[in-house]
Amino acid sequence: MVDLSVDIAGMKLANPIMTASGTAGYADELADFVNLKQIGAFVTKTITLEPRAGNAYPRVIETASGLVNAVGLANIGLDAFLAEKIPILSELGLPIIVSVAGKTVEEYRAITERLDSVDAISAVELNISCPNVSEGGIQFGMDARQVAKVTAAARQACNRKVLIVKLSPNVTDITTPARAAIEAGADAISLINTLNAMVIDIEQRKPFLANRTGGLSGPAIHPVALYMVYQVCSSVAGPAGVPVIAMGGVRTARDAIEFLLAGATAVAIGTATMINPTCLIEVCDGIRDYLLEHNYKSVREIIGTLQDD
């Protein structure tokens, strides 16, 4: 038997595979397609204090090996989430990680405070990296001082849950916001969110998405994500002993194993879940096959074991 379990700041996962925010809804949408009880943890769609209708259509467009989206954090709002979705999510028997966003530092603090007292959840993930909303979101993620402010405010309100900060890749040096988040009290770091992107309709000579610009996800961004995860793990999070949750274009077990070798403790699957929900399980099975084939007893044996020449 291979031990696939990992630990993220005290949060026990049966295996290192989790959903990525915004790509698995509130879990009930996927019930007919995949047994989510078999994954390591579930990360919800980003929740805001008030419901959000989201951006105008079109919101998504495929590009070469990628998906550009500008959904705009459409969600049912915190109250409806707590009343309607928490009961369903708690049936999964998994660590539940709630992704949150706010328009102001105070909103991040307030929503974290409300979630801190909800027994059914294990962690709060601060989405400070959504590129598709006019206020908040990425504005916090692109400035290290703002990253520190938001993280510190949420930290103050977060006493019982693991606090995860999700970084934006749209920065010059990813280690700067990573360091800011860790110094401000993040228990774990997750990266990367989508890369700023756009698509132009050349016949209309107009941006394709109603929001004009969006965020790129999917296999196209995997090597970029891997590079950033490697940088954060090797120069900031690793030395600080802070676990990293890696995401960005994972589609196969090979992609996930790359993240683990680079130093990530867990790996989230996003766009690929929307194409093939069972890929969450298949990637996990593939990691097990890899470990067996290389005679490892635990997945923890390979985390951050990138070999030097």
| Least Cβ distance, residue 104 to other proteins (angstroms) | 23
Neighbours of 29 (CB within 10 A): 11
Residue 156 to residue 42: CA distance in whole angstroms: 24
**For residues 85-99, b (16+ Cβ closer than 10 Å) or e, as one string?**
bbeebeebebbbbbb
Interface with other proteins by CB under 8 A: which range of 63-71, 110-118, 171-179, 192-200? 63-71
- Applying CB under 8 A, does 200 fall inside the site for other proteins? no
Residue 48 to residue 108: CA distance in whole angstroms: 9
Binding characters for other proteins, 11-30, by CB under 8 A (x = yes):
------------xxx---xx
Burial class (CB in 10 A: 0-12, 13-18, 19+), 136: buried
| Least Cβ distance, residue 245 to other proteins (angstroms) | 20
Binding characters for other proteins, 260-299, by CB under 8 A (x = yes):
-----------xxxxxxxxx--xx-xxx-xx--x------
- Applying CB under 8 A, does 38 fall inside the site for other proteins? no
Binding characters for other proteins, 168-187, by CB under 8 A (x = yes):
--------------------
| Least Cβ distance, residue 183 to other proteins (angstroms) | 34
Choice between 177 and 214, CB closer to other proteins: 214
Choice between 1 and 64, CB closer to other proteins: 64
| Number of amino acids touching other proteins (CB under 8 A) | 47
| Least Cβ distance, residue 214 to other proteins (angstroms) | 11
- Applying CB under 8 A, does 198 fall inside the site for other proteins? no
Q: Residues 33, 88, 91, 134: which binds other proteins (CB under 8 A)?
A: 33
Choice between 62 and 91, CB closer to other proteins: 62
Binding characters for other proteins, 205-244, by CB under 8 A (x = yes):
-------------xx-------------------------
Q: Binding to other proteins (CB under 8 A): which residues in 71-90?
A: 71, 74
- 279 belongs to the catalytic site: no
- Applying CB under 8 A, does 251 fall inside the site for other proteins? yes
Q: Binding to other proteins (CB under 8 A): which residues in 119-178?
A: none
Contact positions vs other proteins (CB under 8 A): 23-25, 29-30, 32-33, 53-54, 56-62, 64-67, 69, 71, 74, 218-219, 251-254, 257, 271-279, 282-283, 285-287, 289-290, 293
**So which residues are the catalytic ones?**
130
